[in-house]
Chain A
Amino acid sequence: QKEVEQNSGPLSVPEGAIASLNCTYSDRVSQSFFWYRQYSGKSPELIMSIYSNGDKEDGRFTAQLNKASQYVSLLIRDSQPSDSATYLCAVIASGAGSYQLTFGKGTKLSVIP
Chain B
Amino acid sequence: NAGVTQTPKFQVLKTGQSMTLQCAQDMNHNSMYWYRQDPGMGLRLIYYSASEGTTDKGEVPNGYNVSRLNKREFSLRLESAAPSQTSVYFCASTASGYEQYFGPGTRLTVT
Contact = CB atoms under 8 A, between A and B. Distances in A.
A91 B57 CA distance: 18
A103 B43 contact: yes
A101 interface: yes
Contact of B90 (A44, A97, A100, A106): A44
A106 B94 CA distance: 21
A46 B58 CA distance: 21
A105 interface: yes
B79 interface: no
Q: Range of interface residues on chain A?
A: 10 to 19
A44 B102 contact: yes
B38 to A, nearest CB: 10
B51 to A, nearest CB: 10
B82 interface: no
Contacts of B50: 97-99
